[in-house]
A and B are shown apart, each in its own frame.
Chain A
Amino acid sequence: MLSFLQRRLTLLFITAFILTIIAFIVDRVLVASHNPEVINHQNYFYQYSNYLWHILNGNFGYSSLDNKDLIKRGLVFFASTLELCFVALIFSSFFAIPMGILAGLFRNSRLDYVIMTIAIVALALPVFWVGVMAVLLPSVWGDLLPVDGNLSLIYDVPVVTGFLLIDTLFVVDKYDLFAFIDRVAHLILPALTLSFFLITEIVRLTRSSMTMVMRSNYIQAAYAKGFSRRKIVVAHALRNALPPIIPQLRLQMSTIFSFAMTIEIVFNLNGIGKWLFISLKSGDYLVLPVGILIISGFILTFSIFIEIFMVIISPLRRSALYAD
């Protein structure tokens, strides 16, 4: 276990190193192509170690628009993107996991076909198109849900954690729960839009994992023992079918972020996607390396933590570890 942990952490270290190199290259190329007179003629190794030193000290540079610390603003925006992804994940798991389990249990039945058709239709609708249609909803249904912004402007919520769902709870004495409810209302439509893609992914993964488990020998053995189908599914199949979905979903993380950033631009949410989009349009190119470091750094760290977490909760993976 300890050697595994050490190996993963080394891996994290190496990938983070490669990531800083990529960010450095982007940074230098951007400076060279947009601001040729300040080209640094020192050797690249020296420049890189300088860059790395700045990053390690938390100095990511300042925005050329408002002269604010880039990393602080970036992290605040990124927190709201994470919030969107997290809420969408909960939404879609709520619908998709039962659907996937049913489809896997009754494979090739009519129910399976219906569920898979829903999943393919949800995939085939482009995220931004659904977003545009959702923005039009108020003209059809009246103002049921807000379609733009993170929070109504009347609420003044100081940034504590960056996650608005938590921050609004800190100001309960000022606004009661209204700020929190307002935030939830603002999240519903974007999160639903993002969950269109996630539902397809989770249904597909749950279905194939469920089918694999139901075919395995220990389920056959349980049938042979005379257990009821309900007991087999609840006690034996689900426990083994659900954990393998998580590492598969991890591979889709960059696609999910890509879609979340698109949704932010469509719904005018203050997330990292919109921040990058707006800053680049107004010529603040230094946000790009910071954006790369934040988003990709998060994905890398998170995937390695998931891997470690999987080893802790799933005995199958642990045994595979000891086999080598």
Chain B
Amino acid sequence: MLINNGFDEDKVQSPLHYIWSIFKRKSIAVMAMWLMIFFIALCIFAPWFVPHSPLSQNPEKMLLPPYWIEGGDVNHILGTDDLGRDSLSRLFYGLQLTLGGAVLITVCVTLLGMFIGASAALAKGIKASILHHLLDTLLAIPALLSALILITIFGPSYVNCLIAIGLSLLPQFVRTSYLFIKQELSKQYVIALRLDGATKLRLFKYGILPNILEPTVTVINRLFTLAIIEIATLGFLGFGAQLPQTELGSLIASSMELVYLSPWLVALPGLAIFSVIIIVNVFSEGLRQAIIEGES
């Protein structure tokens, strides 16, 4: 915990700083973190550097294989689809919707869920009870079903799919954060803070939040993973991104009948989803280990 910058005085590190210094030593996790930042940057800046427009068709070059396979073209590194559209550009644009949507859902659900969970845990009586029953009911509606409901009412669109997934993931998050906070509330340091007359906000910020960091990281990781999988699933079923939007799941669905002819059209989007999830899981596992080591 103590660091010495060459002076005679020892300085106390803040807990977060300490956790970060432990995290830095885990090379695989740091690599995963940079890869994650790289992927997100790729999503944001995709329109500026993709070699071709994802929608520009080329009848001369249809169903090209990736360039390292016989018959490939260096202009289309990962080949083209049945309309001559560049696979790499479509993959980047697909990643934009899948990964970007998952990040958006994760941020919104985390903030909202933390707020609801904390206020449910800190509140008493009828307010908590109403919240509980409502969430219990919402928890029982699967994501696919709520997506079906929203889509039949408002018509299929990418935004509706995000809302449906967010709605189905929110109760799970609220449930778990509520349980963590409830456990913390009975501990002695929280009671001591309360006796000091701390307001609820202060209690949450200084008493509870630092102590539920580790389970929260795990839950956010889960949330993100499920969000990616469900966005892709809804896209695959045709309830998510609509043409001409490209999304990894709908990319797989649209090249399903070409799978014998050019299997990489199905394999590559699947591989992209797979690698994003692996990277995020490795990163969050490293972070979790660092937090556990930092706390003990």
Complex-state Cα separation, A110 to B168, whole angstroms:
36
A288 within 8 Å of B (CB atoms): yes
A291 within 8 Å of B (CB atoms): yes
Binds B, one of A58-66, A94-102, A224-232, A295-303: A295-303
A19–B143 touching, CB < 8 Å = no
A132–B136 touching, CB < 8 Å = no
| CB contact between B148 and one of A19, A127, A280 (< 8 Å): that residue | A280
Complex-state Cα separation, A11 to B135, whole angstroms:
12
What's the nearest-Cβ distance from chain B to residue A176, in Å?
37
A91 within 8 Å of B (CB atoms): no
B278 within 8 Å of A (CB atoms): yes
Residues of A within 8 A of B282 (CB): 120
Q: Which of B148, B270, B278 is the most central at the interface, judged by chain A CB atoms within 10 Å of its CB? A: B148
What's the nearest-Cβ distance from chain A to residue B228, in Å?
8
What's the nearest-Cβ distance from chain B to residue A181, in Å?
30
| CB contact between A295 and one of B137, B142, B172 (< 8 Å): that residue | B142
B287 within 8 Å of A (CB atoms): no
A255–B143 touching, CB < 8 Å = yes
Binds A, one of B15-23, B54-62, B78-86, B232-240: B232-240
B277–A124 touching, CB < 8 Å = yes
A262 within 8 Å of B (CB atoms): yes
Residues of B within 8 A of A296 (CB): 137, 140-141, 145
A129–B226 touching, CB < 8 Å = no
Given contacts A277-B237, A280-B148, A280-B152, whether A132 and B266 have CB atoms under 8 Å apart is yes
Q: Which of A129, A132, A255 is the most central at the interface, judged by chain B CB atoms within 10 Å of its CB? A: A129
A262–B237 touching, CB < 8 Å = yes
A29 within 8 Å of B (CB atoms): yes
Dominant secondary structure at the B interface = helix
Complex-state Cα separation, A29 to B176, whole angstroms:
32
B139 within 8 Å of A (CB atoms): yes
* CB closest residue in chain A, given B263: A136
Chain A, range 109-154, C-beta contacts under 8 Å to B: 116, 120-121, 123-129, 132, 136, 139
Residues of A within 8 A of B252 (CB): 128-129, 132
B142–A126 touching, CB < 8 Å = no
A15 within 8 Å of B (CB atoms): yes
Residues of B within 8 A of A15 (CB): 133, 136-137, 140
Given contacts A22-B137, A128-B249, A300-B136, whether A261 and B144 have CB atoms under 8 Å apart is yes
A285 within 8 Å of B (CB atoms): yes
Given contacts A254-B142, A295-B145, whether A30 and B152 have CB atoms under 8 Å apart is yes
A79 within 8 Å of B (CB atoms): no
Residues of B within 8 A of A120 (CB): 277-278, 281-282
Given contacts A124-B281, A280-B148, whether A254 and B143 have CB atoms under 8 Å apart is yes
B152–A19 touching, CB < 8 Å = no
A292 within 8 Å of B (CB atoms): yes
- A11-31 vs B, CB cutoff 8 Å, 1 = contact: the mask equals 100110011001000100110
Residues of A within 8 A of B278 (CB): 120-121, 124
B144–A258 touching, CB < 8 Å = yes
Residues of B within 8 A of A125 (CB): 270, 274
Residues of B within 8 A of A285 (CB): 152
* CB closest residue in chain A, given B141: A296
* CB closest residue in chain B, given A297: B140
What's the nearest-Cβ distance from chain B to residue A282, in Å?
12
Report 5 cross-chain contacts, Cβ distance below 8 Å, ordered by A residue.
Answer: A124-B273, A251-B176, A258-B233, A276-B145, A297-B140
* B interface residues, Cβ below 8 angstroms from A: 133-134, 136-137, 139-145, 148-149, 152-153, 168, 172, 175-176, 225-226, 229-230, 232-233, 236-237, 249, 252, 256, 259-260, 266, 270, 273-275, 277-278, 281-282, 285
Besides A30-B152, A259-B233, 10 new A-B residue pairs in contact (Cβ under 8 A), listed by A number: A15-B133, A19-B140, A127-B233, A128-B233, A139-B260, A254-B139, A254-B141, A255-B226, A295-B142, A296-B137
* A interface residues, Cβ below 8 angstroms from B: 11, 14-15, 18-19, 22, 26, 29-30, 33, 116, 120-121, 123-129, 132, 136, 139, 251, 253-255, 257-259, 261-262, 265, 273, 276-277, 280, 285, 288, 291-292, 295-297, 299-300, 303
